[in-house]
Structure 1
């Protein structure tokens, strides 16, 4: 009787915790909608008062923004690109700091692999090809969205790109670079790792996170879901959302599972039930992002990913914990977003269940206690599992001057996981300092070799 009572109490606690997080999610979503409406109203009312700046003519012989390699900002889990959420900026307007920036809209919950494929065709153009073997294994259509015109169709080794990835977006870029090196895109046999000039990571998910286990992934395998958990609620919500397939709502925000054809028009009621029972769809095949964010899943990905000798790498690892008498605790209440405070506390105390096999040899719980509410700081510095990649800690700017390719320079930043996205006011001056340094670094390494001859130079 006591065991039954304890089990019932545990289920009740899980339900309440999940409900609280769900309400937080609804709050953030409704706030975004209200912000969109407010922004649209202000623009319509005060449009006549906006001063239109006159662009100064660039000096003859100078390099214009159009001649520079573009900078691509890649969002993380539950993220979105330009045009979603009524025009809300995932990167809090940082894209306006440079005249040559792209913000692609990729699947917010799709796997790292699928998102890397989508990113390639977003830039190069054409119809997204997920690959025949992968598509069959995961039970979805081989082909996806069509880009009639790529955002950077000239992309090649002579016209490389700078990438900036937040959270899982950083790992997406690494997978894409490996695909380029492996010439993994049909019809594009000339790709190489040198198409990527630099990779900058903001709280990058390189080695997984213990939060996945708190939210519902099984720590035993890093693949399956616990029967009752926050992620189970998320799974059910996504299935219902995609099955209803309301056009205007999906245009506003899309989880990215269109290639799984889960709408009622294509699956019907029977297919809907099949997805709910876990017999089909992305959650049945494991082709979604959470398995990739477990420690085990990240190790599976990392075992095939390289750090390349001609690419510049820089990583900002965030941290919102400190040690008091040997105990890891949240570093401050005001400095942590309310949505993340509970998770910072939980992650700083998380322990692998005693009867569970460690994810790797030498694993220690305490190594993973420093965190930012979503990722562990140890995971964000540089790729280290299952093999550690070349790295160097940066305390002051001179530590990476001159910057060398093929090395992961990393800096520890005091901040939570969403400090540098969505809400610019929270980050304050630090927001501009970080992004200014990123864009300055990208422009300093504008060309891997000697700059190409520009049209206005060829005349002389």
Structure 2
């Protein structure tokens, strides 16, 4: 049975009785290989809910809820920039210094195709309409994120409040880089986020083929025919890699695979930020703000090895050691091969990737559960029903939930909606 770890269940139940103290909008921010609400309109499949609808369920509380769509394989800097302009309106400006630092990979500071209209009535270019143009300190938002989205919202909060990390003016005149935007974010929640990276990155040695395979699996789950289907977009205009309107995942990857963006040496991409080394670099300058309430929620879909009797997939891992963790039978199909001890190319690896520390073995098929609590070296606490600003309030982890169960891809509504009901009861009382 899928359950929330007992760590803070009592705290969640206590919080559920709190009277809503604010009605600030929620902005949902997807993770690696994620997509916006319009991507699979033909089948109705949503990042937040699968064939259910988490955003619509959250709106039942009469709270505005917006669903963002940012670059699925982009760096957290680029995703944070896109998120800012998508909410506020305007054309994405990735920063002068940032663009110059990544010029060798072809970065463009102000590419076409990344604009949002702040005023629907004055939109001669027919841009998508910004989600919440009035966003400011008097009109703050709650961020709720999944997977890499947790790193992305942290990066955005850092830029909002502190501006360009290399000093005023280094990124140009873009409003995001001026800093001083304190109070724009009331709370930031991460769900199954790799704050300290994921050892799955160790498994993905050949980045481009794995991206194509995983994205194709997502499209297959959405009911659109795998990597041959169109509709899913990589949103890499800032690297000059625009995707044709009907260009499939496979065709796009084949056409662009030689581009510098895809190389492992390019550190302005998700594959670097999601690696433990890349996450450590990000954590070096992206700090926990004293002005924001932070919450984190984890997930775990592996079990301790047993010689005969547990709920793991015995086809994937027929021989098990009690020292290691293995993928559960009910884990989504395309995560099982890399979730446990049986990791290509060696059956002798102890967990997802090559980390030898036992606390890194439990995972949800994508992210190590220990990495979901919060960024290492920054304030963290177990949530006890009383939230504290400037610290990661760890709500606990959902046991027997894989990386996509927590967003409803393979879960009935009774198993996923309470996650967000509990969360709304907490942030509504802030």
TM-score, structure 2 normalization? 0.70
Distance 1:187 1:263, change over 3 A: closer
Alignment check: 8 A CA contact 2:299 2:363 kept = yes
Q: Which moved more, 1:188-197 or 1:300-309?
A: 188-197
Summarize deviations over 1:37-84 as a string: whole Å, max 9, x none: xxxxxxxxxxxxxxxxxxxxxxxxx999xx831100000111111211
Within the candidate set 210, 213, 233, 1:254 is matched to 233
Alignment check: 8 A CA contact 1:208 1:293 kept = yes
What is the CA–CA distance in structure 2 between the aligned matches of 1:417 and 1:264, rounded to whole Å?
A: 27
What is the CA–CA distance in structure 2 between the aligned matches of 1:299 and 1:366, rounded to whole Å?
A: 19
- Compute the displacement of 1:230 (Å): 4.3
Summarize deviations over 1:101-127 as a string: whole Å, max 9, x none: 110111111111100000000111110
What is the CA–CA distance in structure 2 between the aligned matches of 1:198 and 1:372, rounded to whole Å?
A: 25
What is the CA–CA distance in structure 2 between the aligned matches of 1:298 and 1:290, rounded to whole Å?
A: 10
Distance 1:187 1:127, change over 3 A: same
The runs of 5 or more residues in structure 2 that have no matched partner are 1-18, 119-129, 165-172, 217-227, 245-252, 307-321, 344-348
What is the CA–CA distance in structure 2 between the aligned matches of 1:63 and 1:371, rounded to whole Å?
A: 34
Within the candidate set 93, 100, 119, 2:64 is matched to 100
- Could you tell me which residue of structure 1 aligns to residue 109 of structure 2? 142
Distance 1:230 1:349, change over 3 A: farther
Alignment check: 8 A CA contact 2:325 2:351 kept = no
- Could you tell me which residue of structure 1 aligns to residue 220 of structure 2? none
- Could you tell me which residue of structure 1 aligns to residue 266 of structure 2? 285
Which residues of 2 match residues 412-451 of structure 1 at below 5 A? 412-414=397-399, 415-423=401-409, 426-445=411-430
- Could you tell me which residue of structure 1 aligns to residue 281 of structure 2? 300
Alignment check: 8 A CA contact 1:236 1:276 kept = no
Which residues of 2 match residues 39-58 of structure 1 at below 5 A? none
Summarize deviations over 1:366-420 as a string: whole Å, max 9, x none: 2211111100011111111xxx2221234xxxx2x22221221211211111112
What is the CA–CA distance in structure 1 between the aligned matches of 2:325 and 2:429, rounded to whole Å?
A: 39
Within the candidate set 162, 168, 171, 2:151 is matched to 171
- For 2:370, what is the secondary structure of its paired residue? helix
What is the CA–CA distance in structure 1 between the aligned matches of 2:232 and 2:254, rounded to whole Å?
A: 23
What is the CA–CA distance in structure 1 between the aligned matches of 2:299 and 2:352, rounded to whole Å?
A: 21
- Could you tell me which residue of structure 2 aligns to residue 211 of structure 1? 200
- For 1:108, what is the secondary structure of its paired residue? coil
Q: Which moved more, 1:142-151 or 1:206-215?
A: 142-151
- Could you tell me which residue of structure 2 aligns to residue 36 of structure 1? none
Which residues of 2 match residues 56-75 of structure 1 at below 5 A? 68-75=23-30
- Could you tell me which residue of structure 2 aligns to residue 340 of structure 1? 335
Alignment check: 8 A CA contact 1:420 1:427 kept = no
Distance 1:252 1:312, change over 3 A: same
- Could you tell me which residue of structure 2 aligns to residue 330 of structure 1? 326
Does residue 85 of structure 2 align to residue 124 of structure 1?
A: no
Distance 1:151 1:236, change over 3 A: closer
- Compute the displacement of 1:250 (Å): 10
Distance 1:350 1:310, change over 3 A: same
What is the CA–CA distance in structure 2 between the aligned matches of 1:426 and 1:264, rounded to whole Å?
A: 32
What is the CA–CA distance in structure 2 between the aligned matches of 1:258 and 1:443, rounded to whole Å?
A: 37
| Cα root mean square deviation, aligned | 3.2
Within the candidate set 18, 31, 34, 1:79 is matched to 34
What is the CA–CA distance in structure 2 between the aligned matches of 1:236 and 1:429, rounded to whole Å?
A: 27
- Could you tell me which residue of structure 1 aligns to residue 12 of structure 2? none
- Could you tell me which residue of structure 1 aligns to residue 45 of structure 2? 88
What is the CA–CA distance in structure 2 between the aligned matches of 1:110 and 1:253, rounded to whole Å?
A: 15
- For 2:406, what is the secondary structure of its paired residue? coil
Higher relative contact order (CA 8 A, sep 6+): 2
- Compute the displacement of 1:258 (Å): 1.5
- Compute the displacement of 1:94 (Å): 0.8
Alignment check: 8 A CA contact 1:84 1:251 kept = no
TM-score, structure 1 normalization? 0.66
- Could you tell me which residue of structure 2 aligns to residue 194 of structure 1? 183
